[in-house]
Amino acid sequence: MKYVINNLCHYGDILAIPLFALLVMYFYNIEHKSNIEYVLFYFSISGFLLDILYTYIFCFHSKSSRLEISF
């Protein structure tokens, strides 16, 4: 249980990946974007890519991804 609580923010990052993908598709499909929509579009792309990177690092390269059972 302590493992889940300590890594709760990482699980939130994992859940955010599909939401970033939807946000990217939403801004991509707008035909006549304003300047602020371009800024939000690029931020959503960067958030999507960085979230994938951080999730990959958490799942495959961090010590916290290994379940440690101690009695």
pLDDT, one tens digit per residue, over 1-33 is 666 677 777 788 888 999 999 999 999 999 999
Q: Does any domain span residue 15?
A: yes
Q: pLDDT confidence of 70, banded at 50, 70, 90?
A: very low
Which pLDDT score is estimated for 30? 95
DSSP the chain: -HHHHHTHHHHHHHHHHHHHHHHHHHHHT-SS--HHHHHHHHHHHHHHHHHHHHHHHHHHT-GGGS-----
pLDDT for the residue 27: 96
The mean pLDDT value for 30-40 works out to 96
Domain count, the chain: 1
Domain limits for position 16: 2-65
- Residue 70 forms part of a structural domain: no
